Structure 1
């Protein structure tokens, strides 16, 4: 995040704390209004802070799905779209939660509400599939599993999966595919991870190979082990080396190897509710180690103990990693 954007976002969070403090008065309200009106960037930052705060008042997934079902096919499309927009506003979460959902189209978001398999923020699950394949769901993941007589299909609506494919016992063997909003992946005896990321999907192959077929055309490509690639509507990027520790999350840990602090915190933020930011002046610091995901607060404490940083908690749901304050002489 550019330093200017980070500073404005922090200002917005500080204003949020001031206005909700017990001693907030008319002068504070007027000062905030001047700040808010002075720049579109201020207003955008304020909306972001309000969205993160709304996480703690969010509608649980089951009532949200029931409300969506209540709209029913007999209601007008306009009414259904209105309900979806309302649910989006109520279900905002941080990181790969609500922000990622808002970046996806409404159809994908609705599909995730109805998904047969889901994980909440901070939860990792392992599933044994009917054909012997093993499937891991990372934090905040939603998908459907559809095995038919001719196809083994996983529809990934959001989040991230790791799939260790098994040979199909049926003859002829049914293809094993993973569909995302950006295209289809066909497993060719393999272990791989898939993560939709805004306007593209990231594929990392750890064993075997995977065939990539982008949605809306584009040349298909087979990605071998040790490579990863981003693909989207009609395109496939150039493959590059996959991080060998990129799938450490299936063992409930993050394992950075000379990873920048801001990149590490972006990964860690996926396992927490609320905002987890990184001050620009410490973003370049490098990490090596293994960090169990069972307690993200302990990870932050470990960073504070081993790096020249401090953990600044403006709210329970707004945490930033900043440079240590200079020690007084």
Structure 2
């Protein structure tokens, strides 16, 4: 299997992390549409096989399209060696996940002091007390009167003890307006992610869990950030934002107040790149939403309701020199008109 997918001597896992470009991904989606057609022929299947065999990146792109398609529909039953290869990929990924969970379990059993071992496991997000589905947003008020807005596809727990008010964010994004604690002495209010801890200093702020990092934006007050693996802490003040990992904190930059508009059900674009806007919009709808590099740098200004993502796409198509191409209902891209 490694000899099929590896390219230029790259290990299998590294090859799978490679990102096919827009053109190759779109070709894979178009082949999927052909193979799901009732009129698919033996010649079509052979041409698809030839396309897969032409480049390992084609096979990786096909695997990604199949992965997304599995949430929506099944491919017609045809003899597909590369589909079997995709299943082999999924099996290897599953084995890797099992090894990771086993290692973390061993660390915990051995009494390791590692901060990582005490943090989020995949099932914690699935069983979190507060969760939202794709496209869903909700507001909750906690026992102390603090308000939290939970964004799309997010999961968190609230743990209030005698000495600490603690939020654990497992996935997605939250916006927090802290309230004064009536306990004496007042309990600190903290938010924990896999990358570290944020301690609120009387404030309104948002936290987003990224892939391998956390993003903090402070709109009122201040928040102290402490990376998980130690190192220097940093106080992020009102009108500032920062990205941090378990190892350290990036440079502080000005906060973008439009980023919190989602709590009111809006997506605000202030001279935003089209590719960036579509990436943000993709968080609120199921399926693939891509952008042709030829139109990626078009600038967008406007305020759009997140209650109807498809209407946003229609508005963009009407005001920009683009067309919204729907290869399938769950595979949509913006390309030059």
State if a TM-score over 0.5 links the two structures: yes
| Corresponding residue of 2:296 | 283
- Offset at 1:47? 1.3
Structure 1 gaps of 5+ residues are 59-80, 86-105, 325-329
Residues 304-315 of structure 1: pairs in structure 2 closer than 5 A: 304-315=317-328
- Offset at 1:191? 0.6
Query: Which one of 178, 183, 190 corresponds to residue 196 of structure 2?
Result: 183
Residues 14-93 of structure 1: pairs in structure 2 closer than 5 A: 14-56=30-72
| Corresponding residue of 1:130 | 143
- Offset at 1:25? 1.4
- Check the 8 A contact 2:148/2:177 in 1, yes or no: yes
- Offset at 1:108? 3.3
CA 266–248 in structure 1, closer or farther in 2 if over 3 Å, else same: same
- Offset at 1:56? 2.1
- Check the 8 A contact 1:262/1:283 in 2, yes or no: yes
| Corresponding residue of 1:10 | 26
Query: Which one of 209, 221, 232 corresponds to residue 234 of structure 2?
Result: 221
- Offset at 1:3? 11
Structure 2 residue matching 1:13: 3-state secondary structure? helix
**1: distance between equivalents of 2:191 and 2:40?**
52
The answer on 1:319 being equivalent to 2:332 is yes
TM-score (norm. length: structure 2)? 0.80
- Offset at 1:109? 2.1
- Offset at 1:289? 1.0
- Check the 8 A contact 1:218/1:236 in 2, yes or no: no
- Check the 8 A contact 1:261/1:285 in 2, yes or no: yes
Q: Which runs of 4+ in 1 moved over 3 A?
A: 81-85
| Corresponding residue of 2:179 | 166
TM-score (norm. length: structure 1)? 0.82
- Check the 8 A contact 2:136/2:152 in 1, yes or no: yes
- Offset at 1:4? 7.2
CA 14–212 in structure 1, closer or farther in 2 if over 3 Å, else same: same
Structure 2 gaps of 5+ residues are 1-17, 75-93, 99-118
- Check the 8 A contact 1:3/1:280 in 2, yes or no: no
- Check the 8 A contact 1:201/1:232 in 2, yes or no: yes
The answer on 1:267 being equivalent to 2:280 is yes
**1: distance between equivalents of 2:300 and 2:191?**
33
Q: CA RMSD in A?
A: 2.0
Asked which structure has the greater RCO (Cα within 8 Å, sep 6+), the reply is 1
The count of corresponding residues between Structure 1 and Structure 2 is 281
